[in-house]
Amino acid sequence: MAKKTKRAAGASRKNGSSAEYKAVIDDLVIGNRILYDQGVVDGYGHVSARDPRNPERFLLSRARAPGLVQPSDIIEFGMDGEPIRDDGRPVYSERFIHSEIYLARPDVNGVVHSHSPTVVPFTVTNVPLKPIRASFFYPEVPLFDTRDVAGWTNLLISNRELGRALAEKLGKNSVVLLRGHGNAVVGPTVRLAVYRAVYTEANAKLLLQARMLGGPINYLAPEEAAIMESSQTRHRPGHGTDRIWELLKSEAIARTGRPKTLDRGAAQRCDAR
């Protein structure tokens, strides 16, 4: 009887792990497509998730346009930024953004890197990106410049040294700007990281419009932001990020098609690795 109970408990943990892994893969695939549909990414940009089976690894698509990502494209990476199993598929050169942020921030489980078009001008001017609706901009939105670390480069975060410096500049914030390049956005889940990436772009548009009107801008106060964040980070069905995710997911599927699902057998095989 004891052996049967032990086997049943082990099977339950395995099935739970597989289900959690599949759910993260699904969010990762849909997150890529949402970011494309919302114009946050185009053929470039990527989103990752910390592996729910092993916090010392993360999941990221093979090098592919975000709007085309399928579950079968997802690769498991170590914290050195290299694939756990190199099967010859091309990988993103800027995967070190993800690996070094996960190393520096145990609280982060989702990372988005994009060239969000309305955000980029704020990376090359002296105009700070401040919150109008983006409560997650506090404490601040810092700016990272590759020249401070490596001199003249192609601006890409293509090695661990640059990734580590970027993670250091991010600090305890949710968004960091990359001069002349884009931004990186983090969250405790993939869904929240994607939500924040979408609303970073939306806030940049609002700020640009407000500045065009002229005069002083009455920004979101830190106290207001704290209240807003306390509700946004809680899972409330039908409210907050849950409602937005449902809407953005349906819009992305309508535009890009429904992605293939990760069948149970594939999830169990991945879980056994």
Count of structural domains, the chain: 1
**116 in a structural domain:** yes
Whether the pLDDT of residue 103 is over 60: the answer is: yes
Find all residues with CB under 8 Å of 205, minimum gap 6, and list them: 118
56, 82, 94, 201: which one is catalytic? 94
Q: Average the pLDDT over 85-106 and give the result.
A: 97
CA 228/CA 245 separation, integer angstroms? 17
CATH number of the domain within which 187 lies: 3.40.225.10
CA 214/CA 195 separation, integer angstroms? 29
Q: Between 266 and 69, whose confidence is greater?
A: 69
Q: Is residue 94 annotated as a catalytic residue, yes or no?
A: yes
Amino acid (1-letter code) at residue 136: F
**266 in a structural domain:** yes
Lowest mean pLDDT among 88-97, 119-128, 257-266: 257-266
| Number of residues that make up the chain | 273
pLDDT of residue 192: 97
Per-residue pLDDT band for 1 (boundaries 50, 70, 90) equals low
Structure tokens at 46: 């990527």
**5 in a structural domain:** no
**200 in a structural domain:** yes
Long-range contacts of 156-162 (CB under 8 A, 24+ apart): 156/93, 156/94, 156/181, 157/94, 157/96, 157/97, 157/113, 158/93, 158/94, 158/96, 159/96, 160/80, 160/81, 160/96, 160/99, 160/100, 162/96
Domain hosting residue 214, numbered range: 18-272
Strands 143-144 and 110-114: unpaired
**9 in a structural domain:** no
- Specify whether the CB–CB gap between 60 and 92 falls below 8 A: yes
Per-residue pLDDT band for 232 (boundaries 50, 70, 90) equals confident
pLDDT of residue 12: 42
The continuous run of DSSP H or E covering 183 comes out as: strand 182-187
The continuous run of DSSP H or E covering 193 comes out as: helix 190-213
Find all residues with CB under 8 Å of 223, minimum gap 6, and list them: none
Please write the tens of the pLDDT for every residue from 29-39.
999 999 999 99
Please write the tens of the pLDDT for every residue from 177-229.
999 999 999 999 999 999 999 999 999 999 999 999 998 999 999 999 999 99
**52 in a structural domain:** yes
Q: What is the DSSP string of 107-141?
A: T--EEEEE--TTTGGGGSSS-----SS-GGG-S--
**187 in a structural domain:** yes
